[in-house]
Amino acid sequence: MEKRYLFTPGPTPVPPQVLAALAEPVLHHRGPDFREVYARCLGRLAEISRTERDVLLYTASGTGLMESAIANLLSPGDRTLVVSAGYFGERWAELARAYGADVDVLAYEWGETPSASDLEQRLDGHSVVLLTHSETSTGVVADVQALAAAAKDAGAVVAVDAISSLGAVPLETDAWRIDVVVSGSQKALMTPPGLAFVAVSEEAWSRRGSSPRFYFDWQRTRDAQRRLDAAFTPATSLVVALDVALSLLREAGLDAAFERHVRLGRACRAGVTAMGLELFSPDDDSAAVVTAVRAPDGIDSGELVLTLRDRFGITLAPGQGPLKGKVFRIGHIGWFDVFDIATALSGVELVLAEGGAEIERGAAVSAALDAFERPLSVA
């Protein structure tokens, strides 16, 4: 009977229409019913990715498609520069090392925001640059437009992990000259986990390397998709669900989604601050995807997350890596509104107050609602 609230930065809440589509009888992946859905999904993924290129759809987690970028682009010894400021930046580096690349890391402390001028100075004939758009572990959304421009001007191929950003914050794949954009179903695309996507530029295509690959080989999937076929049996039920989710997103409009995420970020930060807590993620409109909050002194953020789950069925995300125990994270991605923010903040407030923390009661929700209602100054 207990209500459950999923407020993590992935998986994210899935609208009932999308869940209902999952329960439809299974379609054969080579039948006409499925091909129609498949074609529509592929077209809409390209639309949302703001690209004229093929978007390749795979059954895998987002990491699988980060690996596709490495396996298709890099040959052993290729000079690769990773811009890393958190868990997912480190994953790029691990992946590139697993394929024997010669990896340099422009490493920031977790929570810092990478800068294009640092990148410019660090670039030195690297053939591939690996970027993270929304660093889900810290809440930082990097300026990938500026970062990609620096890397492209230096002649590198640029791959961006946009897994938690696509559909939440603006990302102009073609206009920003990003060669490879990796994303996933379980964040702003409001679909359960299991599907991931990659858009690949002609330049990246022509610079593919010699690493072994089969399932994640781009050529196999592009060839199949161009005949409206799939190279390997896809997760058909998830594709049918994604089709419904993309219709919902398209109906409301991408710009509306971006605006909503900015307002949700504002609401969350205003509430957190009003409660007397300290933000870990930046206190500006870039942080529209996930809000990382420092736990008050003497409180373990992991314990707080467990208590919220046990007491109220509210799932937040704990800190990862060096932030374990120190921060908790509220994801506000996809099918999310301000009342979800209010619920998350109310839960945190109750648990902290019960634990004796100095929390100004009731302030968080009002501040959040106010911040959400304030018009955006920027269109």
Task: Return residues touching its own copies (CB under 8 A).
Answer: 4, 6, 8, 10-14, 19-20, 22-29, 31-33, 59-64, 67, 70-71, 94-95, 98-100, 184, 186, 192-194, 211-217, 232-238, 309, 315
- The HSE-up count of residue 340 (CA atoms within 13 Å, CB side) is 22
Pick the closer one to its own copies by CB: 10 or 114: 10
Pick the closer one to its own copies by CB: 95 or 141: 95
Pick the closer one to its own copies by CB: 165 or 273: 165
Pick the closer one to its own copies by CB: 71 or 158: 71
Nearest to 159 by CA among 188, 200, 189, 101: 200
Please list, in sequence order, all residues whose beta carbon lies within 8 angstroms of the beta carbon of residue 346, skipping any fewer than 6 positions away: 364, 365
CB of 98 to its own copies, least distance (A): 5
Pick the closer one to its own copies by CB: 214 or 379: 214
Pick the closer one to its own copies by CB: 21 or 45: 21
Phi, psi at residue 317, to the nearest 5°? -105, 140
CB of 212 to its own copies, least distance (A): 4
CB of 378 to its own copies, least distance (A): 32
Please list, in sequence order, all residues whose beta carbon lies within 8 angstroms of the beta carbon of residue 335, skipping any fewer than 6 positions away: 12, 13, 14, 15, 190
CB of 307 to its own copies, least distance (A): 12
Give, for 292, the enclosing helix (H) or strand (E).
Answer: strand 290-294
CB of 217 to its own copies, least distance (A): 8
CB of 154 to its own copies, least distance (A): 26
Contact 195, 58 (CB under 8 A): yes
Q: Angle formed by the axes of helices 254-274 and 363-373, to 10°? A: 150
Q: CB 376: neighbour CB atoms within 10 A?
A: 11
